[in-house]
Amino acid sequence: MKTHIGTFLSIGSSAVTELAAECGFDWVLIDLEHGCESEAALPDQLRALRGSDTLAIVRVSAPHPDLIARVLDWGAQGIMVPHVNTVAEARHCVDAAYYPPQGHRGVSRTVRAYGYGMRLPDGAMPKPIILAQIETADAVANAGQIAAVEGIDALFIGPADLSFDLKAQQSPRSYDDCVSSIVNAAKDQGKGCGILVRHADDKEKLKALGFTWIAMDSDLSLVREGFKRNLATARAW
């Protein structure tokens, strides 16, 4: 299974999005959950990727069917949904993202995804990519069943939320054990598995575990660390 290397975009700048595509990332995550981007400004972010091979994945703030449909109508190739804890929630995501008969997404051939009516699908409607975030102890326990849902393409671990939830729930399971369990659940169903990586040195280890959707850091973190490093250098003069 191909390894997709991407990055998280939180700043909300279409210039940064365009730069990420120019650099050759396989995918970018435009973040409507924690990022500075507004829903209304999302189309400009997607336009910045036009003509590139970089996939646009949008993390919606919640699995609202109207939001999921708008994001895909505006031209995103896929969505990431936070806090998918149960099979029912996974099916809800698929139902919102897919056209009938698999789902209940409304059909409009004049949306940006189809060139405002100039690029109508030839044959079957395109299938969206759906990444379900596994971020709680409950989600870990249900990971195999979530991965088995038709239409879910990958499980994506949220390291910060998962670590926080395991501590809050005083779970006897370690974080590393949960990570291995999620990867194996995805493998068993022939699905991908992803994670956000803060340190480049971790990439090969995670790839060896079986991760196929790897997000290397975020634009906000890279700018922050660059500012801190340059400031420390300048003050040392």
Query: Which active-site residues does the annotation give?
Result: 34
CB-side exposure of 105: number of CA atoms within 13 Å?
A: 27
Decide: 50 and 74 in contact? Cβ < 8 Å: no
Task: Give the integer Cα–Cα distance in Å for 116 and 119.
Answer: 7
Cα–Cα distance, 191 to 55 (Å, whole number): 18
How far from the centroid of its chain's Cα atoms is residue 74's Cα?
Answer: 16
Tokens describing residue 184: 């194996």
Of the candidates 94, 156, 164, the one whose C-alpha atom is nearest the C-alpha of residue 136 is 164
φ and ψ of 145, to 5 deg: -70, -35
Residues 6+ apart with CB under 8 A from 167: none
What 3-state class would DSSP assign to 200? helix
